[in-house]
Amino acid sequence: MSPAALLRALPLAALLLLSPVRAVRQARRPNVVLILTDDQDVCLGGMTPLKKTNTLIAQMGVTFVNAYVPSALCCPSRASILTGKYPHNHHVVNNTLEGNCSSKLWQKIQEPYTFPALLKAVCGYQTFFAGKYLNEYGAEDAGGVGHVPPGWSFWYALEKNSKYYNYTLSVNGKARRHGENYSVDYLTDVLANMSLDFLEYKSNFEPFFMMIATPAPHSPWTPAPQYTKSFQNVSAPRNSNFNIHGKNKHWLIRQAKTPMSNSSIQFLDDAYRKRWQTLLSVDDLIEKLVKKLEVNGELDNTYIFYTSDNGFHTGQFSLPIDKRQLYEFDIKVPLLVRGPGIKPNQTNKMLVANIDLGPTILDIAGYDLNKTQMDGMSLLPLLRGDKNVTWRSDFLVEYQGEGYNGSDPTCPGLGPGVTHCFPDCVCEDSYNNTYACVRTLSASWDLQYCEFDDREVFVEVYNLTADPHQINNIAKTIDQEILEKMNYRLMMLQSCSGATCRTPGVFDPGYRFDPRLMFSNHGLRARRFSAQFL
């Protein structure tokens, strides 16, 4: 066996003991931990089960109550976290290899410039990853589990999508198979144990970054044995957009059957309970991690971020269960942060997005953000409570549907292009479920403006001050000037890159509107995006 192969095969403890020692002067820089859950909503009670997390992170730091993702799907969202970029700049548009999810193109063009790569190569951080990376990671056509992305000192990545048992991990490029024995295989607990081992054996002479990406609460929603009886009396919330017809919405929403069948409602209620049950193991992971940092004397010098890759819906507008839609329940996520200089029990209402995580963590590490091409903004001034911070009032949401030009065999009557269909033929996605939105939050407006790239060139607009559950599409009644300005702003954001993604929004004093460009190439932007990169 070659020396390189031998090194890859060593257990975590041995690798850590062999890790090179950097200058002692680096030791005082802050450490960073990022915990990323999978499909955890915030609008429908997704944080409720996490009592320990609330106590140990939220109550000891800041909760961002307006935190969003620019794409409500796992792979594009995770790519945005890693790169600090919108999907139109990192080019990961959905969960497929064809959609650039962990593809060779992603590995060549984007991976070398992710924030962990910069942390390790430039800032001298030891970096640790454990859990779900990108949905197609480990695919044979993308290099298999032998591919270890640049930027990671220690790599424990799940092959493909979320599982709890019977999965394969890439352990520094070597496949390790796990079975279905709870004590040694339950993935959330395995990630917790690996993380504790890293904290036990890592170098004490250089700062560290840890990214722990749990499977919970993603399907198949397999709880740990001790939690299978929890929340027996809990059902999915019956809020005002539950089990109603999505009138005046895009055709994919309108195709849902209302009222839902009893079997669909029972299914989504069961899924909702199981999702909560899986999160109890995440809560245990957080507790173990914080206690270990405290015992090691490192808690006071460590930032801990907690967030999710996207939200989720359970019965809203009669869609049984999924994400991928433009509404608050799918694009809004939890974001909790504790760390040095952050006052306890803080709530921040600024409009933040997961493209801000990379710039924030690099800023914490002392990296010059002017050297990056990231679209996001550093949250560090908000974390420190700086006064008179100039902040965004809008951001971009964009998604390109999966699907294919064929019929779902379970729902042949719906025609070609639909996907993720339930037995009663309600489908959650389609190849032309392709849209872009401006989500605006300012002193005067809480607004969402969306355009679909389809034959209808459909537009949805919501005033969330009057209609927080996004029931009434006001595209045909809103003031025409606002509509025109939002259309123009959407054009600007869809073509933005880096600093131009942070220009003033429609309701900022510095916004400049040129009506001559208002409807230029209207409806063609997403098509160009699709043809160019897929």
Distance CA 346, CA 489 (A): 32
- Within 8 A by CB and 6+ apart from 466, the residues are none
Distance CA 222, CA 419 (A): 24
Beta strands in 350-426, from DSSP E residues, in sequence order? 352-353, 394-399, 418-421
Q: What is the DSSP string of 18-54?
A: HSPP--GGGGGSPEEEEEEESS--STTSTTTT-HHHI
Q: Which residues pair with 35 in a beta bridge?
A: 212, 306
Cα 446–chain centre separation: 22
Nearest to 362 by CA among 10, 28, 30: 30
Distance CA 20, CA 64 (A): 37
Distance CA 273, CA 271 (A): 5
Q: Report the SS3 class of residue 126.
A: strand
CA atoms within 13 A on the CB side of 79: 34
Q: Report the SS3 class of residue 173.
A: coil
**Residues with a known catalytic role:** 74
Cα 408–chain centre separation: 28
Query: Looking up tokens 């949401």, which residue turns up?
Result: 397
Task: Give per-residue burial for 433-461: e unless 16+ CB within 10 Å, then b.
Answer: bbbbbbbbbeeebbbbbbbbbbeeebbbb
